[in-house]
A = this chain, B = another copy of it.
């Protein structure tokens, strides 16, 4: 088990699992359910603790704030990403294999892990959203907003922490023609609002990592790294892993299949059906929720499968479908950000116009993501 655990620990999470997917399946796991599930939890817990130590070092160095490097651009330090990834996997595993674990312990830890993952993920999400929206403005309006235009008298309070985006866009602006003022103002407004939200999320994440609540989570995970608390009266944990774990993974797959069956896949499978735009802009959130639920269930299935096939990432179909759903979530959130920016008082009509173009463009991305998902999920359609 120790060796197996080390494999798990050494194996990079999330980011590069896709590449690992190319490798051959290791087949059914050896050992009892307790050994296999315990080994997986052990591995993720070790990752969690290593990321925590790395964060402590980073925090000691740069103060934990955004640095000047790539980590700054996507808004999160790698250590925080590691914490988040391990927390998500631990929580997902506790959910899928709950029948084998001490229920009270599993439920409370899962609640805390999802609080943590959510808190740590927000800064990254805001940074990615801003990047996506500025990129879309760039695509829609030619060159990205330049620092000058950003800082300029946009008439809608576009002054603010826009230096970063400005410097990023400046280079592009120089080599291309001038941007329609509306798009420049919209970019400035979005940069101001999302940078503010990101900064708040960053402080909230740091605060969380220093909180007693977090330390309690860390203690629980540390315990997990040594010994996973199985259900006392559960004899199954001593049986061979496949017989015990596979049915629970299968149940997760059934939940996913049911959720997918509820989606208007045949419609999404027809390109340019305007489904992403068809409903009232006010009801977008409702129609997106069903798709986002599928994204979550698909991720749970992936984690459940990791327990059974330690060294194997998701197959190409699952990975592509998951990526499409991730794009769906991001485009949906970006469209909402454009819409809420348009509700800012006293913005210029040109700004509102550009935000409207941006909103529709991101809804189009939502529609495209649904098409891509359906394409990968059921090529027959």
Please, which residues of chain B bring their CB within 8 A of the CB of A282? 142, 180
Contact, CB under 8 Å: B360 / A352: no
CB-defined A-B contacts under 8 Å, sample of 20 = A139-B274, A142-B279, A142-B280, A177-B280, A180-B280, A180-B281, A271-B368, A272-B368, A281-B357, A342-B353, A350-B352, A352-B352, A352-B356, A353-B353, A355-B356, A356-B356, A356-B358, A356-B360, A358-B360, A360-B361
Of all chain B residues, which has the CB nearest A142? B280
| A371 to B367 CA separation, bound complex (whole angstroms) | 15
Chain A contributes a number of interface residues (CB within 8 A of B) equal to: 38
Not counting A142-B283, A342-B349, A353-B356, a sample of 20 additional A-B residue pairs whose C-beta atoms are within 8 angstroms of each other reads A140-B280, A140-B281, A142-B280, A142-B282, A180-B281, A272-B367, A272-B368, A272-B371, A272-B372, A274-B361, A281-B357, A347-B349, A349-B349, A350-B352, A352-B352, A352-B356, A354-B356, A356-B358, A357-B357, A360-B364
Whether a CB of chain B sits under 8 angstroms from the CB of A52 is no
Return the CB mask of A118-151 against B: 1 if under 8 Å, else 0: 0000000000000000000001111000000000
Over the window 235-279 of chain A, the binary record of Cβ atoms lying under 8 Å from chain B Cβ atoms (1 yes, 0 no) is 000000000000000000000000000000000000110100111
Residue ID in chain B nearest A369 by CB atoms: B272
Report the minimal beta-carbon distance from A288 to chain B, rounded to whole angstroms: 16
Q: How far is the CA of A372 from the CA of B273 in the complex (A)?
A: 12
In the complex, what residues of B have CB within 8 A of residue A353's CB? 342, 352-353, 355-356, 359
Whether A351 sits at the interface, judged by CB under 8 Å, is yes
Contact flags A184-201 to B (C-beta < 8 A → 1, else 0) = 000000000000000000
Is A274 in contact with B347, judged by CB distance below 8 angstroms? Answer: no
A218 on interface, CB distance cutoff 8 Å: no
Q: How far is the CB of A81 from chain B (nearest CB, A)?
A: 29
Alpha-carbon gap, A361 to B356, bound state (A): 10
- Bound CA span A357–B359, Å: 7
- Whether a CB of chain B sits under 8 angstroms from the CB of A336 is no
Chain B residues contacting A359 (CB-CB under 8 Å) are 353, 356-357, 360
Say yes or no: is A163 at the interface (Cβ < 8 Å to chain B). Answer: no
The answer to whether the Cβ of A348 comes within 8 Å of any Cβ in the partner chain is yes
Q: A280-B177, A349-B349 are in contact. Are A272 and B274 (CB under 8 A)?
A: no
- Measured between beta carbons, the chain B residues less than 8 angstroms from A354 are 356
How many angstroms from the CA of A279 to the CA of B350 in the assembled complex? 19
Complex: A277 Cα to B357 Cα, angstroms: 10
Write out the residue numbers on chain B whose beta carbons fall within 8 Å of the beta carbon of A177.
280
Closest B residue to A341 by CB, please name it: B353
In the assembled complex, the Cα of A41 lies from the Cα of B361 at a distance in Å of 48
A-B residue pairs, 6 tightest by C-beta: A356-B356, A360-B360, A272-B368, A271-B271, A142-B280, A349-B352
